[in-house]
Structure 1
Amino acid sequence: FRFDLHHRFSDHVKRWWPEKGSVDYYAALAHHDRILRDRRLLTFSDGNATFQISSLGFLHYTTVSLGTPSVTFLVALDTGSDLFWVPCDCVQCAPNFELSIFSPNTSLTSKTVPCNNSLCRNECSGAKSCPYKVAYVSANTSSSGVLVEDVMYLTAEDEVVDARVIFGCGKVQSGSFLDVAAPNGLFGLGMEKISVPSILSAAGLTADSFSMCFGNDTIGRIIFGDKGSPDQEETPFNHRRTYNISVTGLHVGTSIDTNFSALFDSGTSFTYLAEPVYTRLSEGFNSQVRDKRNSRIPFEFCYFISSIENTSLIPSISLTMKGGGQFSVVDPIIIISTEKEFGYCLAVVKSTNLNIIGQNFMTGQRIVFDREKLVLGWKKFDCDVEDSNTLPINPRNHPPTVSVVPGSYNPEA
């Protein structure tokens, strides 16, 4: 099944756009095939496109319609969590946004999820509504309320599909959910049974797999039931709880021996690496660059370009995955500009413990999260073309044309 998403120029989306290239664009960012035979592909009823909204935490968003009559929500897509929740019968929700609010009492198709439901993990009993509370990595960020069951509207080709799903009626939100991130709901895409991909698969509506495509222009796609194509690269997941994979080598101009595990997380904008991997990659990158180092720009490894017309040879980066597959990073840098200077930075942040492959390393790829085979698949892809062939994409020999005025911020903040 495929989900239709709002086009980037629709009025619904435009109002969230910040000025691309502003200092907040990167400061906040650091802070935080249709070719498939014999399988049914599902998308949201409004489309399958996703879009990155920088004023809302730089996450990828799509629109989802729930209930009868239907109510539409602009939700963030997160492979790092499981529960799908929306603001509902609000006690504490984001105060400064024009939000859609769900209410089970006004939906003709809504049902209570009782405590004795197998998906209820709280210590309660009987037919009472199952309460939930989910805490997230960001400080003091959480959502709590009760679980409900209702219809989510999908499409498969030209067919409308009413899928019954269980989601959180989020009555109380805290932390980032009150301002910069996912104020209108979070769509968890994790492996647990409560996630929507798991529910769709258990109901026999799709294969237990989905794909996300991350375009160079911040527009992407999500397709449920998609297992990718025979020519994609694959690597196994390390366990059944998260999208954690093993990297057995790095190539930054030359090969670097290393071995580490990392989480593929659509809810993280940059790539975060812990020591010693961070130093090996960043110093390997630095040793290949011939431009002058600029320590005044926020990321650790940033460089001057003498003029906009000049091009610089950007070192290619690729990861060798367990099993031997090569994951080429299409665009590992961001552009920084001032009135007098033009430069670029390696968009990798030093982490204290976790290794996370973020959206920037996934750009230009269709990423397949195949939970049946327990593998991650990837293929260079044009997200604007629904039925794309392999693209002749190579790491660029010059920076992309995005610009931003540098500010005084710490990318680890």
Structure 2
Amino acid sequence: MHPFIHIYILLPCIISSFFNSQATDTKPQTPNSLVLGLSHVSSLYTPSMTPLNSTNYDFLDIIEPVTAYTDGYLLSLNLGTPPQVFQVYLDTGSDLTWVPCGTTSYQCMECGNDHSSSKPSPMFLPSQSSSNMMDLCGSRFCVDVHSSDNRFDPCAAAGCDIPAFTGGLCPRPCPPFSYTYGGGALVLGSLARDSVTLHGSMHGIDPLSPVEFPGFSFGCVGSSIREPIGIAGFGKGKLSLPSQLGFLGKGFSHCFLGFRFARNPNVTSPLVMGDLALPAATDGGFVFTPMLSSVTYPNFYYIGVEGVSLLGDDSSAAAAAMVAAPPSLSSVDPRGNGGVLVDTGTTYTHLPDPFYASLLSSLGAAAPYERSRDLEARTGFDRCFRVPCARAPCPAEEDRLPAIALHLGGGARLTLPKLSSYYPVTAVRDSVVVKCLLFQRMDDGASGGPGAVLGSFQMQNVEVVYDLVAGRVGFLPRDCALRA
């Protein structure tokens, strides 16, 4: 989910209303790495564990338990001294990390029934942290969150006089900010600094211990629209979590669990940052595509897509005729528009017309099943099929829906796992289950920005490596539950 780029983002309530979730991989250790788990599990921190100061250690692996949620993937953040624990979305399409925060209840408008329970959102309490402080108006993070062309603007807004802010002597806090996401979501808050505690070991050999990163800048958010629980920004800007912790010189990787594990706190998968993420990319099976850059949106991760093809029952067979993508998907133009944004904060992949319409037409011809138009109307998905199934679970490998292959820049081809393309939106009834294509139509792109978006649903059970050293993105389909 990226700020200032507006695309369609399907509301979480569609999944929660129609998905019947059926809750039914470690890496070699190297120095200079951070491993976070994407999960709902409770913090690994206990009072008996002595925090390590991250600034004193050069050879550090950090290992933290991420799980599937109903509309994305969560990781645990431990903020403050002593740590207060928060579950936040992992979002490669934005930079700011923020949590609900303050002394009054968190206000979230248009957050949907899925997040509206009798239990209020946990709030970070700055007064309960001995290491908390307000970020100052002259800090690089304050300038970044205000998206100012003039680095003196935040201090001018804070009421400092010219000699104070030009001399770097203004002691006033960073003014309150608003941070806007695609789809009309936004958050309002102030910028704070505090310790963030992750978990790891020296050289990946020593037992796990808390690792404290002091002075982490994050949003203390009191109200929002459509953002209920908090976000960890993983973009390439100054504010992002990997940027502040010093890992953008290497890269990171994640392996998202299948959505059938949504809300299951007992199954986790790894998010890896640093050296540890990159050697895995040398494993056989990875396909790599160049990472594109945008002068307008330089903080995000772009790749090129040349087209899409549908595969038959044997996904290793030669692809059918490729549906060619428009040039706007294979490259970024001089104005910074086009390309495909890799965005874990957007649930589904969005493709533009007429390319998307051509894919739907090809799918209709290739799928040997009757369409379920009533479920299409109820869910908002564009293609739903009545698939024979004697009893649940209905294995994807036993149906005849075609696998979808993305033809990427540089000649790479990524064949998506079927469960990353189609999902059963009903229970089995009369030996039939309805499965829907979980792609969406992109807006008309009149306002510029990416030509398409690769969402988190299509990245489930695919290990994704963001290799910032070589300037490429790697993909490897695998069972991410086995990498827990």
**TM-score category of the 2 structures, normalised to the smaller one:** 0.7 to 0.9
State the alpha-carbon separation in 1 of the partners of residues 14 and 65 from structure 2.
Answer: 19
Mark the CA change 1:304 to 1:358 in structure 2 (over 3 Å): closer, same or farther. same
The counterpart of 1:23, out of the listed 3, 17, 25, is: 17
Equivalent residue, structure 2, for 1:198:
243
Mark the CA change 1:19 to 1:244 in structure 2 (over 3 Å): closer, same or farther. closer
Q: Is contact 2:347-2:456 (8 Å) kept?
A: yes
The aligned amino acid for 1:76 is: Y
Which moves more between the two structures, 79-88 or 250-259?
Answer: 250-259
Q: Is contact 1:191-1:371 (8 Å) kept?
A: no
Q: Deviations over 1:338-371 (max 9, x none)?
A: 6444222222111213511112211211111233
Q: Is contact 1:163-1:200 (8 Å) kept?
A: yes
Q: Deviations over 1:19-74 (max 9, x none)?
A: 99863448xxxxxx5235344234376363312222xxx12112211111111111
**2:356 counterpart SS class:** helix
2:92 aligned with 1:79, yes or no? yes
The aligned amino acid for 1:242 is: F
The counterpart of 2:362, out of the listed 275, 279, 284, is: 284
Mark the CA change 1:22 to 1:325 in structure 2 (over 3 Å): closer, same or farther. same
Q: Is contact 2:189-2:219 (8 Å) kept?
A: yes
Equivalent residue, structure 2, for 1:109:
131
The aligned amino acid for 1:276 is: P
The aligned amino acid for 1:51 is: T
Q: Is contact 2:178-2:189 (8 Å) kept?
A: yes
Equivalent residue, structure 1, for 2:154:
124
State the alpha-carbon separation in 1 of the partners of residues 425 and 229 from structure 2.
Answer: 31
| Superposition pairs of residues 217-228 of structure 1, within 5 angstroms | 217-218=260-261, 219-225=268-274, 226-227=277-278, 228=280
State the alpha-carbon separation in 2 of the partners of residues 305 and 118 from structure 1.
Answer: 54
Equivalent residue, structure 2, for 1:316:
403
* Cα deviation, residue 381, structure 1: 2.7
Q: Deviations over 1:90-135 (max 9, x none)?
A: 5562475433322333311123321111222242222211133201
State the alpha-carbon separation in 2 of the partners of residues 63 and 187 from structure 1.
Answer: 9
| Superposition pairs of residues 330-345 of structure 1, within 5 angstroms | 330-331=417-418, 332-337=421-426, 339-340=429-430, 341-345=432-436
2:224 aligned with 1:174, yes or no? yes
Mark the CA change 1:91 to 1:118 in structure 2 (over 3 Å): closer, same or farther. same
Equivalent residue, structure 2, for 1:180:
none
The aligned amino acid for 1:366 is: E
Equivalent residue, structure 1, for 2:33:
40
Q: Is contact 2:102-2:222 (8 Å) kept?
A: no
Equivalent residue, structure 2, for 1:258:
325
Equivalent residue, structure 1, for 2:472:
375
**2:213 counterpart SS class:** strand
Equivalent residue, structure 2, for 1:59:
72
Q: Is contact 2:351-2:440 (8 Å) kept?
A: yes
User: Normalising by the residue count of structure 2, what TM-score does the alignment of the two structures yield?
Assistant: 0.66
* Cα deviation, residue 245, structure 1: 0.8
**1:323 counterpart SS class:** helix
Mark the CA change 1:355 to 1:19 in structure 2 (over 3 Å): closer, same or farther. closer
2:298 aligned with 1:246, yes or no? no
Q: Which segments of 5 or more consecutive residues in structure 2 lack a partner in the other structure?
A: 1-11, 21-25, 38-42, 45-62, 109-117, 147-152, 156-169, 202-207, 262-267, 312-319, 330-338, 446-450
The aligned amino acid for 1:345 is: C
Q: Is contact 1:189-1:197 (8 Å) kept?
A: yes
Which moves more between the two structures, 335-344 or 367-376?
Answer: 335-344
Aligned length: 352
Considering only CA atoms, is the larger Rg found in Structure 1 or Structure 2? 2
Q: Deviations over 1:183-221 (max 9, x none)?
A: 33211111101101001116xxx8531111112244533
Greater share of residues in strand: 1
Greater share of residues in helix: 2
Equivalent residue, structure 1, for 2:382:
300
The counterpart of 2:439, out of the listed 348, 353, 363, is: 348
State the alpha-carbon separation in 2 of the partners of residues 293 and 337 from structure 1.
Answer: 14
Which moves more between the two structures, 94-103 or 326-335?
Answer: 94-103
> Pairwise CA RMSD of aligned residues?
2.8
2:255 aligned with 1:213, yes or no? yes
State the alpha-carbon separation in 2 of the partners of residues 215 and 251 from structure 1.
Answer: 24
Q: Is contact 2:417-2:461 (8 Å) kept?
A: yes
The counterpart of 1:274, out of the listed 324, 340, 352, is: 352
Q: Is contact 1:191-1:241 (8 Å) kept?
A: yes
The counterpart of 1:160, out of the listed 201, 206, 210, is: 210
Equivalent residue, structure 2, for 1:135:
180
Equivalent residue, structure 2, for 1:12:
none
User: Normalising by the residue count of structure 1, what TM-score does the alignment of the two structures yield?
Assistant: 0.77
**1:119 counterpart SS class:** helix
State the alpha-carbon separation in 2 of the partners of residues 104 and 48 from structure 1.
Answer: 24
State the alpha-carbon separation in 2 of the partners of residues 363 and 169 from structure 1.
Answer: 28
State the alpha-carbon separation in 2 of the partners of residues 24 and 306 from structure 1.
Answer: 19
The counterpart of 1:89, out of the listed 102, 109, 114, is: 102
The aligned amino acid for 1:300 is: D
Q: Is contact 1:143-1:170 (8 Å) kept?
A: no
- Percent identity, aligned pairs only? 23
Q: Is contact 1:365-1:382 (8 Å) kept?
A: yes
Mark the CA change 1:173 to 1:380 in structure 2 (over 3 Å): closer, same or farther. same
Q: Which segments of 5 or more consecutive residues in structure 1 lack a partner in the other structure?
A: 1-17, 27-32, 178-182, 388-413
